[in-house]
Amino acid sequence: MLQTTKKEDPMSKKERTAIEPTRAENYAEWYQQVIRAADLAENSEVRGCMVIKPWGYAIWENIQRFLDEMFRETGHRNAYFPIFIPKSYFEKEAEHVEGFAKECAVVTHSKLEDDGKGGLKPAGELTEPYIVRPTSETIIGASFAKWVNSYRDLPLLINQWANIVRWEMRTRLFLRTTEFLWQEGHTVHESQAEAMDETLKMLDIYARFAQDYLAIPVIKGEKTEGEKFPGAVNTYCIEAMMQDKKALQSGTSHFLGQNFAQASNIRFQNREGEFQHAWTTSWGVSTRLIGALIMAHSDDNGLVLPPKIAPSHIAIIPIYRDEAEHAAVMALAKSINEAFKHTEFEGVRVYTELDDRDLTSSERNWYWIKKGIPLRVEIGPRDVASNSVMVARRDQGSREKRSVAVESVVEHCLQTLSAMQLNILEQALLFREANTVKIDGKDAFYAFFTPKNSQQPEIHGGFALSHWCGGSACEEKIKEDLKVTVRCIPFDSEPEQGKCVCCGQPSERRVIFAKSY
RNA sequence: CGGGAUGUAGCGCAGUCCGGUUAGCGCGCUCGGUUCGGGACCGAGAAGUCGGAGGUUCAAAUCCUCUCAUCCCGACCA
């Protein structure tokens, strides 16, 4: 009889990972598995829509809380507008219609009737169909037109937290779903300059939020004509690099000029007593940020969360064999758990999870590793004896643990949380820098973005800083050949003479090319 | 909407080509016990309209027709 041994060929031996496949093996599948393992969300019965589960929703609530505070500080106030937009409102801005028409859910009836076959059929057809908002410029514009009469009413700074619907063909949890949650700011200004200032100020806030809270370094820049928001004059964005070296647009801010003011008739009497159209802006971030968070930091053992955005910070895991040990260990675990009450780091309140479930200690450990909790505090009989505990950080190897004396455990953990926040940002920044290269010449450019194995493309490419003539023909050509687009024209790019990487025509500056989500 | 594939227990799958016991397996779940400092083990158990409707047949997860849904690849996107 054949004896099969557990011993593997030492060459192929590798540490077991909590997530399979690994990032290197199949990044797209890894992403799905991280979400499942961390229990963030799941696909619902409704096509293209997700159910956001408590651990995932708590992340969104933290995003909301911190951003909302920043909006308030800059003078914005929250309001709420209808989810339904009359079709006629929507039609007012031509480019806007063109951009969104293909992905709108339309409400045409107001009730259901017995269809005579044991089912129901829509009845009470509406005289005018409603569109479920894909964005709210037009419906908010209708209100703004009434609210704004004088330069004294300006600036008008409004934000709305809402759900929106965009009927997408292909969906991925958090990155692109039919319904998603977001925040949309809408502001009205007296002058072009003031509206532009506002547009850029909010982009700054997004960039700061991404770096300081999500620990995701972002590049601020302007979208090309082809990539901008339908109806906007200029669209600005923050772009982040994911671990598969693709770009993820993580937030946008639009200078709308007077386009929507004209469409919605937002007029005011200026200081000279003349009527003029106002200048408007809009800006938003969405639950997509959670997708960014996952793909920027997580590893082959599951989610990694920057402490400031984590729903909970410390898992306390008692380890014991019998009742006597259980009692002793739990006494210490509870007192430590208690000691964290009302503590904070970086202005963020600390939450703990005392996990006393009837599972093996390693099972409980891995549970929290996969959920991305920043710190794990293990407390066993040996710790009770030595009046210390073992502390493990999620941003380090799963076996790396450190013994910490009980009296200093709170201080140690709080300091470590702060340190982790910076370390995670630093790691993401190093990754992006290592994968951002200046590329000149068409051959080098094409080589950079072409996988070595076309059957099963490996993780390749990155951000290419290359010259572009500014022509949409070149942009299209590159998109067609390589699925690579101009992610943005970065603000910090220095003017520099060069040749377009596609057509060789003179170019004034480098832009960021990348594959994107 | 075009091209490809798949629907069998909570999840992942085998069985379908070539119809024939009571539809299996792994994980998970429940109960009991031994365990517990890196994903434990033993024993027992529960759980399935085989996506749906119709047909062929003595007999259908298996063959035929229709239908619904999902996934992947394209066109679109925060």
Nucleotide nearest to A18 (CA to C1'): B39
Write the pLDDT tens digit of every residue in A433-485. Answer: 999 999 999 999 999 998 887 767 788 899 999 999 999 999 989 998 888 99
Write the pLDDT tens digit of every residue in A214-271. Answer: 999 999 999 999 899 999 999 999 999 999 999 999 999 999 999 999 999 999 999 9
* pLDDT over 60 at A370, yes or no: yes
Q: How far apart are CA A388 and CA A377, in angstroms?
A: 10
Nucleotide nearest to A182 (CA to C1'): B78
Same structural domain for residues A458 and A421? Answer: no
In a domain, A54, yes or no: yes
Pairing of strands A77-78, A156-165: parallel
Position A5, amino acid: T
pLDDT at A42: 84
Position A153, amino acid: D
Q: How far apart are CA A414 and CA A418, in angstroms?
A: 7
A393 CA vs B27 C1’ separation (Å): 29
Q: With contact defined as beta carbons under 8 Å apart, do A256 and A137 qualify?
A: yes
In a domain, A3, yes or no: no
**Whole-number mean pLDDT of chain A?**
91
From A297, A317, A344, give the residue that closes a domain. A297
A362 touches strand B (CB under 7 A): yes
Same structural domain for residues A419 and A347? Answer: yes
Pairing of strands A50-52, A375-379: unpaired
CA angle A244, A249, A254 (to 5 degrees): 170
A167 CA vs B76 C1’ separation (Å): 10
Same structural domain for residues A443 and A416? Answer: no
SS3 (DSSP) at A472: helix
Same structural domain for residues A161 and A269? Answer: yes
A359 CA vs B46 C1’ separation (Å): 21
Q: What integer is the mean pLDDT of A181-189? A: 97
Same structural domain for residues A277 and A354? Answer: no
- Kindly report the CATH number assigned to the domain that includes residue A49: 3.30.930.10
Position A301, amino acid: N
Same structural domain for residues A214 and A275? Answer: yes
Q: With contact defined as beta carbons under 8 Å apart, do A224 and A469 qualify?
A: no
- Kindly report the CATH number assigned to the domain that includes residue A479: 3.30.110.30
SS3 (DSSP) at A387: coil
Same structural domain for residues A269 and A361? Answer: no
A169 CA vs B67 C1’ separation (Å): 22
SS3 (DSSP) at A66: helix
**Number of independent structural domains in chain A:** 3
From A411, A431, A451, give the residue that closes a domain. A431
Q: How far apart are CA A43 and CA A61, in angstroms?
A: 20
Write the pLDDT tens digit of every residue in A278-303. Answer: 999 999 999 999 999 999 999 999 99
A341 touches strand B (CB under 7 A): no
Q: How far apart are CA A20 and CA A30, in angstroms?
A: 6
Cα A6 to chain center, whole Å? Answer: 42
A321 touches strand B (CB under 7 A): yes
Q: Which residue has the tokens 């590893």?
A: A299
Nucleotide nearest to A235 (CA to C1'): B78
Give Cα separations from A429 to A135, A342, A516 (angstroms): 32, 32, 18
A33 touches strand B (CB under 7 A): no
Q: How far apart are CA A463 and CA A241, in angstroms?
A: 8
From A297, A318, A339, give the residue that closes a domain. A297
Q: Would you state the torsion angle of the CA atoms of residues A464, A467, A472, A476, taken in this order, to the nearest 10 degrees? A: -40
Same structural domain for residues A211 and A68? Answer: yes
Same structural domain for residues A365 and A285? Answer: no
In a domain, A194, yes or no: yes
* pLDDT over 50 at A3, yes or no: no
pLDDT at A452: 81
In eight-state DSSP terms, residue A309 is G
- What are the two backbone dihedrals, phi and then psi, of residue A337, each rounded to the nearest 5 degrees? -55, -45
Chain A span 49-88 residues with beta carbon within 7 Å of strand B = none
Chain A span 177-216 residues with beta carbon within 7 Å of strand B = 177-178, 180, 182
In a domain, A175, yes or no: yes
In a domain, A508, yes or no: yes
DSSP A318-372: E--SSHHHHHHHHHHHHHHHHHTTT-EETTEE--EEE---SS-HHHHHHHHHHHT
Q: How many CB atoms lie within 10 A of CB A174?
A: 26
| Of A156, A151, A180, residue with least CA distance to A46 | A180
pLDDT at A455: 67
Same structural domain for residues A165 and A52? Answer: yes
Q: Which two tokens stand for residue A335?
A: 């007192």
Which residues make Cβ contacts (< 8 Å) with residue A379, sequence separation at least 6?
A316, A317, A318, A319, A329, A332, A333, A336, A389, A390
Q: With contact defined as beta carbons under 8 Å apart, do A209 and A203 qualify?
A: no
In a domain, A223, yes or no: yes
A6 touches strand B (CB under 7 A): no
A399 touches strand B (CB under 7 A): yes
Provide the pLDDT confidence category of residue A117 given band limits of 50, 70 and 90. low
| Of A293, A302, A243, A296, residue with least CA distance to A18 | A302
Same structural domain for residues A277 and A176? Answer: yes
Q: What integer is the mean pLDDT of A183-194? A: 98
In a domain, A121, yes or no: no
Same structural domain for residues A61 and A181? Answer: yes
Domain that holds residue A65: 27-85+94-104+132-297
Q: How far apart are CA A60 and CA A79, in angstroms?
A: 19
pLDDT at A205: 98
A487 touches strand B (CB under 7 A): no
Give Cα separations from A460 to A22, A371, A451, A452, A454 (angstroms): 16, 28, 6, 8, 11
A168 CA vs B3 C1’ separation (Å): 19
In eight-state DSSP terms, residue A121 is E
* pLDDT over 90 at A333, yes or no: yes
ipTM summary value: 0.84
Q: Which residue has the tokens 């699925």?
A: A483
Give Cα separations from A500 to A256, A323, A511, A512 (angstroms): 29, 73, 10, 13
Cα A247 to chain center, whole Å? Answer: 12
Provide the pLDDT confidence category of residue A1 given band limits of 50, 70 and 90. very low
In a domain, A21, yes or no: no
A392 CA vs B27 C1’ separation (Å): 28
Chain B positions under 7 Å from a protein CB? 1, 35-40, 69-78
Cα A239 to chain center, whole Å? Answer: 10
Q: With contact defined as beta carbons under 8 Å apart, do A253 and A281 qualify?
A: yes
- Kindly report the CATH number assigned to the domain that includes residue A390: 3.40.50.800
